[in-house]
Amino acid sequence: KEPVRYANLMHDRRVVRGNTYALQVVPVVCTQPNPLEIQRQREAWKRARARKRAKEQMQPRTPEPVEGREHVHVQTELYLEEISDRIIEVDIECQTDAFLDRPPTPLFIPAKTGKDVATQIEEGELFDFDIEVKPILEVLIGKTVEQALLEVMEEEELAQLWAHQHAYAELRNAELAEVQRLEEQDRRYREEKERRRLQHMQMLQKQKETTEKIAARAFAQRYLADLIPSVFNNLHESGFFYDPIERDIETEFLPWLMAEVEETLERKILGRIVLDSLICTVVEKRLDAFSQKPLSDQAPAEEPRPTDAAPQVASETEAADQPVTETDQPVAEEQPSRRISFQLEESDEAGTEDLETE
């Protein structure tokens, strides 16, 4: 199946332009056509078809439709218009009253005029078919052979043109590929040159940085030669470098020792407070007892007994710690109280020494 070729409808001869009412229709002639004219028309049609085919092959074509579809001819005008060589005719009728009892109109036959004349022609009187047809056949065959030769030459010329075009396209593609290869090679050379230049610049930069680092290191070593010992001495004096045993004693042992001492002192102070309260109570009772009885009556009764000596000494020591409010109490009792208070102080000192040794 020959592929459908699309063309512009504006240049199509079959499309009528303008008003179709003024279209001149060529009447059909019923005469016998001239064979030479028919042959000439066929040759012209063949040449036009060959030129059209060659032109269509040279022009770009529409891509083939996908599977399951096909291309169709469509009009690109804004309004669809029916194209026809025949002038549009319209029949208009009107209703009239039919004639009643009227026979049909007979067919009009004109009257015969003139005379009937006939001519008899015998066989072979006008022309000989074989003799008359021979030159016509020679002309037809010659023109056919000439047209065939022209078409063959045209096809060979087209084939040569196509071959020359393919060869030129191949040569052009080869030249383009060579140009691309040379451009790519030039691009690689440029990139390699730029990369080598960057590597050299980086190497020089690294050498410069290394030289600067070495100089800075030497200067820093020379500058820090005397600085490091002084820094360490200052840090040692500031307490950053310390003895772990000493720090452990200061942070762990001494706080524990102070807490224990404070607890012991608190217990001792608590014992003294309790003792003071007991002494106060005893002194108050003795004062009450002395205020109720005279001193002369109580002297023989208060002779010391071996079992009562210790409580009396304790009560007297408690009374010695309290202030004396009675002015009528004899002075002789102050000496035992002083002696007892001195003994209590010695016992307190002995207790503190025992706590410290513990």
User: pLDDT tens digit string along 199-251?
Assistant: 999 999 999 999 999 999 998 888 877 787 888 888 878 877 777 888 888 88
CA 318 to CA 340: how far, in whole Å? 9
Closest CA to 343 of 320, 326, 324, 325: 320
pLDDT band at 337 (very low <50, low <70, confident <90, very high): very low
Q: Which residue has the tokens 């029949």?
A: 91
CB-CB neighbours of 320 under 10 Å? 20
CA distances in angstroms from 31 to 28, 34, 35, 36, listed in the order given:
9, 9, 12, 15
Global pTM value: 0.23
Average pLDDT, the chain: 76
> Are the beta carbons of 321 and 341 closer than 8 angstroms?
yes
143 lies in a domain? no
Report the pLDDT value the prediction gives residue 343, as an integer from 0 to 100. Answer: 52
86 lies in a domain? no
Closest CA to 322 of 337, 335, 336: 337
Three-class SS of residue 29? coil
CA 217 to CA 208: how far, in whole Å? 14
Task: Write a three-state SS string for 282-301.
Answer: HHHHHHHHHHHCCHHHHCCC
Q: Which residue range forms the structural domain that includes residue 268?
A: 243-288
273 lies in a domain? yes
Inter-helix orientation angle 309-321/254-292, to 10°: 100
Q: Exposed/middle/buried for 68, CB within 10 Å: 0-12, 13-18, 19+?
A: exposed
pLDDT digits (tens, 9 = 90+) for 149-160: 999 999 999 999
261 lies in a domain? yes
Looking at the structure of the chain, the number of domains it has is 1
Report the pLDDT value the prediction gives residue 161, as an integer from 0 to 100. Answer: 94
Q: Is the pLDDT of residue 2 over 80?
A: no
5 lies in a domain? no
Mean pLDDT of 272-297: 84
Alpha carbon 133 to its chain's center: 89
349 lies in a domain? no
142 lies in a domain? no
**Exposure string for 76-110, b = 16+ CB within 10 A, e = fewer:** eeeeeeeeeeeeeeeeeeeeeeeeeeeeeeeeeee
Phi, psi of 68 (to 5 degrees): 95, 0
SS3 content of the chain, % helix, strand, coil (to 5): 65, 0, 35
pLDDT digits (tens, 9 = 90+) for 298-326: 444 444 444 443 444 344 444 444 443 34
pLDDT digits (tens, 9 = 90+) for 5-40: 656 666 677 777 666 665 555 554 455 667 888 888
Element (H, E) at 269: helix 254-292
Q: Which two tokens stand for residue 1?
A: 């199946």
CA 14 to CA 181: how far, in whole Å? 53
Mean pLDDT of 92-99: 68
Q: Is the pLDDT of residue 353 over 60?
A: no
> Are the beta carbons of 287 and 326 closer than 8 angstroms?
yes
Cα angle 269-275-277, degrees, rounded to a multiple of 5: 105
Identity of the amino acid at 291: S
DSSP state string for 204-252: HHHHHHHHHHHHHHHHHHHHHTTHHHHHHHHHHHHTSS--HHHHHIIII
CA distances in angstroms from 198 to 186, 187, 188, 190, 192, listed in the order given:
18, 16, 15, 12, 10
**Exposure string for 281-313, b = 16+ CB within 10 A, e = fewer:** ebbeebbeebeeeeeeeeeeeeeeeeeeeeeeb
Element (H, E) at 200: helix 129-224
71 lies in a domain? no
Report the pLDDT value the prediction gives residue 106, as an integer from 0 to 100. Answer: 84
Mean pLDDT of 334-351: 50
Q: Which residue has the tokens 């085919």?
A: 53
pLDDT digits (tens, 9 = 90+) for 99-129: 556 677 888 888 878 777 777 877 777 777 8
